[in-house]
Amino acid sequence: MRLENKVAIITGGSRGIGHGVAVAFADEGAAVVIVGRNKNTCEETAAFITKKGGNAVGIVADVSKEADVTGMVIQTLEKLHRIDLLVNCAAVNLPYRAVTDVSLDDWNWIIGVNLTGIFLCCKGVVPHMKQQHFGKIINFSSIGGLSGAPGRAPYRATKAAIINFSECLAAEVKEFGIDVNSICPCVVETDMLRETKQTVAIPNVPMPPEEMAAVAVFLASNEGRGITGTTINVFGQGNPLFYLPKK
């Protein structure tokens, strides 16, 4: 039980990668807080984990709203009394759309959830992690955060920023025993992939969320204590190295 006696907040924890992370963390002994905008899916995920013998609660929050994040932190402390781990999985995307066709509302929506949400959640939990002189923060970026592509400007801009933000935060909090890292998945079998699948321009070799969760467990456990300020690429069979032109 690599995460026994730890309390973990998982944003976007009711679906996709976040769901996989929440289940994996609970299986490793952590008490998990499932955070999402949909009350039913949060409660369903928490019930699924509880039925398996784990400890989980669902909290409804929009991570792009500071008041919601503040409430999430307060509720977590009231219910579980501490915060050891934060995994930011919440994210949104658009179908293929040229920059000139992206509305300001769409841009602000993606920035708000994907980037501002991570900022607010980190800002909310770091003071409590400092007090206990321990914490692990894992922010999910993307292979899309490492390079540009047509039709993906808002999403990829946020994912690139997440990497830099994570490095900045890691440098600020290391002295307090807090590690901050980011994970860059390639194609993962999620609702988001299914919703935008027709626009994915990389090989169709999706990985299950459980593979992302395994990396998150490693970083959150004592095994990953020597790693901070780092980005781990988890590309699987979608690694661009495998699709370079052959001479």
Give the residue numbers marked as catalytic: 155
Nearest residue to 35 via CA among 73, 82, 66, 67 = 73
Beta bridge partners of 35: 11, 59
Distance CA 215, CA 234 (A): 8
- In 3-state terms, what secondary structure has residue 95? coil
Q: Are 113 and 90 in contact (CB under 8 A)?
A: yes
- In 3-state terms, what secondary structure has residue 23? helix
Q: Are 76 and 83 in contact (CB under 8 A)?
A: yes
- In 3-state terms, what secondary structure has residue 7? strand
Distances (CA, A) of 143 to 93, 150, 154, 158: 14, 14, 14, 12
Burial class (CB in 10 A: 0-12, 13-18, 19+), 147: exposed
**Maximum Cα–Cα distance across the chain:** 61
Fill in the amino acid letter for 227: I
Tokens, residue 67: 């008041």
Distances (CA, A) of 69 to 119, 124, 139, 171: 10, 7, 16, 23
